[in-house]
């Protein structure tokens, strides 16, 4: 399926990777204003969280990403990419919330979201992406157990 919104999201991610965080954020914020599809809203909010200047703002966008998830169906995810399944979004969504709560010093919500992420890890494919998320879950757990609020390398 040709999905121009997902193409723009991908373009924003490329800008971010290339160092243009402001350009990436501008594209995603513009897309957010008109996004009425669960796949778009979940993805936009998920990526916008990583572009925020404060932990509080990052938490806000991570929460919006998770709030959009219940409306995402496998059918909608497969319309964009036949290999995608909605449930495979959950580990990363919860993991990002666990990490941002950890960095904010909110230990109980961090532990809750880490437990949710770990519970959902079985939905991930046995590929590089799945391995990255599993490894990130271990890193967040270790940092949480150590009482660290320091940033980690990007979670997802």
Give per-residue pLDDT as tens, 95-116: 999 999 999 999 999 999 999 9
pLDDT tens digits, one per residue of 6-64: 999 999 999 999 999 999 999 999 999 999 999 999 999 999 999 999 999 999 999 99
In a domain, 112, yes or no: yes
Within a 10 A sphere around the Cβ of 71, how many other Cβ atoms? 13
Is the pLDDT confidence value at 83 over 90? no
- Residue 2's pLDDT is what? 78
**Mean per-residue pLDDT, 79-96:** 93
Q: d(Cα 74, Cα 86) in Å, to the nearest integer?
A: 5
Structural domain of residue 147, as residue ranges? Answer: 85-156
In a domain, 25, yes or no: no
Our CA angle for 14, 3, 63, nearest 5°, is: 65
- Residue 153's pLDDT is what? 64
DSSP-H helix ranges across the chain: 4-17, 21-34, 38-49, 55-68, 74-80, 90-104, 107-120, 128-146
Is the pLDDT confidence value at 156 over 60? no
Q: d(Cα 131, Cα 18) in Å, to the nearest integer?
A: 24
- Residue 154's pLDDT is what? 56
pLDDT averaged over every residue in the chain = 95
**Mean per-residue pLDDT, 57-75:** 97
- Residue 1's pLDDT is what? 58
Is the pLDDT confidence value at 121 over 90? yes
In a domain, 63, yes or no: no
**Mean per-residue pLDDT, 67-77:** 95
- Looking at the structure of the chain, the number of domains it has is 1
In a domain, 59, yes or no: no
Q: Alpha-carbon torsion 34, 43, 85, 110, what sign?
A: negative
Q: d(Cα 106, Cα 22) in Å, to the nearest integer?
A: 28
In a domain, 48, yes or no: no
Contact between 38 and 69 (Cβ < 8 Å): yes
Contact between 59 and 104 (Cβ < 8 Å): yes
Is the pLDDT confidence value at 155 over 70? no
Contact between 99 and 155 (Cβ < 8 Å): yes
In a domain, 1, yes or no: no
In a domain, 105, yes or no: yes
Our CA angle for 80, 36, 8, nearest 5°, is: 50
In a domain, 121, yes or no: yes
φ/ψ of residue 63, rounded to 5: -65, -40
């Amino acid at each position: 399926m040709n999905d121009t919104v997902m193409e723009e999201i991908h373009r924003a991610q490329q800008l971010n990777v290339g160092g243009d965080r402001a350009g990436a954020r501008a594209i995603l914020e513009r897309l957010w204003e008109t996004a009425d599809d669960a796949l778009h809203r979940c993805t936009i909010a998920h990526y916008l969280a990583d572009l925020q200047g404060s932990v509080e703002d990052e938490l806000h966008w991570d929460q919006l990403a998770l709030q959009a998830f219940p409306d995402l169906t496998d059918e909608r995810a497969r319309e964009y990419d036949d290999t995608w399944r909605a449930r495979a979004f959950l580990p990363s969504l919860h993991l990002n919330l666990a990490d941002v709560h950890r960095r904010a010093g909110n230990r109980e919500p961090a532990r809750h979201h880490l437990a949710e992420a770990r519970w959902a890890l079985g939905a991930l494919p046995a590929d590089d992406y799945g391995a990255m998320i599993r490894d990130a879950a271990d890193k967040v757990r270790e940092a949480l157990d150590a009482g660290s609020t320091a940033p980690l390398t990007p979670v997802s």
